[in-house]
Amino acid sequence: MATARVHLIIHGRVQGVAFRYSAEDQANRIGIGGWVRNLHNGTVEIIAEGQRSELEELIKWCGHGPSLARVTDVEIEWLEPTNEFERFYSARTQ
């Protein structure tokens, strides 16, 4: 099966509610690579690679996030995979 790559921007109340750490846990549970970080505008950004069905599972989770989050939108951009990730991690705020 081919690897896919997705770039996500998650809007809403997604900072200060453990979204990054929950996303990292979710991605590692699913078994995909990539990273998640907070952006200065209050959104969360994710780059992830894995099987498309696994990425779609992560996207679905991002639509609601952890219990304290209030997601209002998830921007989705499918990209060509680079196969650069060995794991999924929380990156520095950008």
Three-class SS of residue 61? helix
Residue 52 annotated among the catalytic residues of the structure:
no
Cβ(90)–Cβ(34) under 8 Å? Answer: no
Residue 28 annotated among the catalytic residues of the structure:
no
Among candidate residues 5, 38, 87, 92, the one labeled active-site is: 38
Among candidate residues 5, 13, 20, 87, the one labeled active-site is: 20
Catalytic residues: 20, 38
